[in-house]
Structure 1
Amino acid sequence: MSQYQRILVIADPAMRRTPAIERAARLAKATGAELHLCLFDYHATIAAVGSVSEEVMALAKTGFLREREEWLDDQARLLADDGLRVQTDVIWGRPIHEKILGKVIEIAPDLVVKDVHREPALKRLLYTPLDWQLMRLCPAPLLLVNAQAHPLPRRVIAAVDTGAMGADADALNDRIVHAALQLALQCDASLHLAHAFDGLATVAMVDPHGDGQLIGEAYETLRRLRREHFDTFAARHGVAEERKHFLDGPAPDALADLAQFADADVVAVGTVYREGLERLVVGSSAERILQRLNCDVLVVKPVGFVHALSKHLGVPEELLPPAGA
């Protein structure tokens, strides 16, 4: 399993040194990866001045960007003093998520790191619209950092759906484990594998008014088959018995409980795209899981995801990575 070569950090537009920078720096220190510290910003008022005076707008924009460039340069010097290789970039424009995606395609990072904020009153992480956009669209593994998490992950849980049928589902499960294992290896963390089986809901949907005994038998049969699929998958990836977690119940609740019980630092989940109303959305199951977790989250996309999205993003084909990436 190769080490990270490039890590893209999305810096806070408020020019604060946040946990995402610290987390990325620790990972870069452990792996020798080059950090790309990028700040993406846009000021509508400055842009609006252009309708009155292009010259005034240009001056205001230059000053706005220079302040951010100087701050990034200061951060880069501090990181370089710690022995890290750092590139910086300030990128102006909107939509912000498309600018970020353009940078991801340009440098093809092994990991994208971004802060996510925790709301103490709600006891959970609050994702911004930008977070959701990146979870939907970012083709590289996306690590959303919880400020209260451990500086370097110690336990990483790969949440897979081995009950889903088809080559695409198998490939996504493999990719989740690959990304989770890659992160775990960089940090000398343990990798755990989890699957949540919500069998009662499945059986009830098939025959909601059926005989109780038959429903029970169907449940046990389905659970046995799912467990066999999970065990086979775990064996293929060399996951030890004590690090396998076959959970009962709805995935959002079961995975959130496991993450808390196991004191997990990161949960890796896969997201797929579904088209509707000319937009792309995170799968509903993944969205519910993300809303329940209270640790770092590693969001993983299927192989070739960026190619599937290219028509929606208007990205020239020649800028895309190879089709198998």
Structure 2
Amino acid sequence: MQSIKLILTVLAPHSDNQFLLNKAIYLAKQYDAKIELVLVVYNSGLVTSLFFSPTELDAAKEGYLNSLKKKLSRYSQSIDKENIPVASDAIWHKPHYEGIIEYAKKVGADLILKGTHKHKVLDKVFFTPNDWQLLKSSSIPLILAKETTAAQYQTVLAGIDPTHAHSKPESLDNLVIDSAMRFAGKMNATCHVTHCYSPIEYQVWNDIGLGMGIGIGPADFTMGEENYSEYINQLKENQESQFNEVVGPFKLPQENLHLVEGYPEQKLPEMVEEMKVDLLVLGTAYHSGLVGSTAEKILDEVNCDVLSVQIQRD
């Protein structure tokens, strides 16, 4: 991740954005960066209203955007008091995530900062469909921030996958670690790297062995209990070798490297809690990467901000 000169901060029109403003101000001071505030809105009720002609609809949209721009001007004043250059705008766009990405490219943003929303009934933070689309589609580094996290980052955790599952490119892990280390260095934070791997469960292993015992599979291939320990040890050795190959060039302290046996959707939230992680850095590639049921379980459960970085596409 290159130096950050412009932080695009995506605000919510009807929410308390103060926690996000505090985070944007903190990051801008660390990087000596500018802040661009934006509200991306679309009101389907307004568009489908029977009371507006096309001309009246345009006027109604303009009036709505102007009211939001006044709100943004008050936010801008609080940032200006911190001696940070700031600009702002409100735009009408659907879908929401496309408007954010287009605007980020237009203003030359180096980082997109967006808040997540708390579910009113469950009292829990969830990523919205637009958040997931942003994670999937943005080639610009993206931080999805949670209201419960502090503005200042002290512990950064990079999650990598040296096995390159789902056809992710080898360079993605390097990008994730490099971004995490650069970010941690700028924040004067501690950087950790982890990879979680999942062995075949013993019950599944045993069931496969029983199935092969009735004439399925090669005769010299056994998956009995006596072979399970050997399989676990061999898997750990292979994962350790791949993990060390990736992290070796970065010269991180051994105590900051974590090869963990277990499902990532279980282990990563546990690590975030135990290590008091403020920022989890993950990678996306070619409109895939994070998207999927496993990722949704991980990101909805971790009680920290998430930084997504993506391989740049031509």
1:109 is paired with a residue of what secondary structure?
A: coil
Aligned position for 1:158? 158
Q: Identify the match of residue 229 of structure 2 among 202, 212, 216.
A: 216
Q: Is the 8 A contact 1:38 1:90 kept in 2?
A: yes
Q: TM-score, normalised by structure 1?
A: 0.84
1:73-92 pair list within 5 angstroms = 73-92=73-92
Aligned position for 1:318? none
Shift of 1:163: 2.5
Q: Identify the match of residue 240 of structure 1 among 232, 237, 253.
A: 253
Q: Is the 8 A contact 1:159 1:194 kept in 2?
A: yes
Shift of the 135–261 alpha-carbon distance from structure 1 to 2, 3 Å rule, reads: same
1:14-53 pair list within 5 angstroms = 14=14, 16-49=16-49, 52-53=52-53
1:288-307 pair list within 5 angstroms = 288-304=297-313
Q: State the one-letter code of the partner of 2:72.
A: L
Q: How many angstroms apart in 2 are the aligned matches of 1:82 and 1:95?
A: 33
Pair 1:142-2:142 in alignment: yes
List per-residue Cα deviations over 1:35-75 (Å, max 9, x = no partner).
11111011223323488423322332222111111111121
Aligned position for 1:71? 71
List per-residue Cα deviations over 1:198-238 (Å, max 9, x = no partner).
12359957983221121220221111121122122222122
Q: How many angstroms apart in 2 are the aligned matches of 1:274 and 1:151?
A: 29
Q: How many angstroms apart in 1 are the aligned matches of 2:123 and 2:50?
A: 43
Count of aligned pairs between the two proteins: 301
Shift of the 216–284 alpha-carbon distance from structure 1 to 2, 3 Å rule, reads: same
Shift of the 205–12 alpha-carbon distance from structure 1 to 2, 3 Å rule, reads: farther
List per-residue Cα deviations over 1:170-195 (Å, max 9, x = no partner).
21111211222232222111110011
Q: Is the 8 A contact 1:203 1:215 kept in 2?
A: no
Runs of 4+ in 1 over 4 A off after TM superposition: 49-52, 118-124, 165-168, 201-207
List per-residue Cα deviations over 1:1-45 (Å, max 9, x = no partner).
853111111011116333222111110011111111111011223
Q: Is the 8 A contact 2:6 2:35 kept in 1?
A: yes
Q: How many angstroms apart in 2 are the aligned matches of 1:22 and 1:262?
A: 23
Which segments of 5 or more consecutive residues in structure 1 lack a partner in the other structure? Answer: 305-322
Shift of 1:78: 1.5
2:171 is paired with a residue of what secondary structure?
A: helix
1:86-165 pair list within 5 angstroms = 86-118=86-118, 124-164=124-164
Which segments of 5 or more consecutive residues in structure 2 lack a partner in the other structure? Answer: 210-222
1:91 is paired with a residue of what secondary structure?
A: strand
Percent identical residues: 24
List per-residue Cα deviations over 1:218-268 (Å, max 9, x = no partner).
221111121122122222122111111111100111111111000000111
The CA RMSD over aligned residues, in Å, is 2.7
Q: State the one-letter code of the partner of 2:305.
A: D
Shift of the 236–285 alpha-carbon distance from structure 1 to 2, 3 Å rule, reads: farther
1:268 is paired with a residue of what secondary structure?
A: strand
Aligned position for 1:259? 272
Shift of the 192–95 alpha-carbon distance from structure 1 to 2, 3 Å rule, reads: same
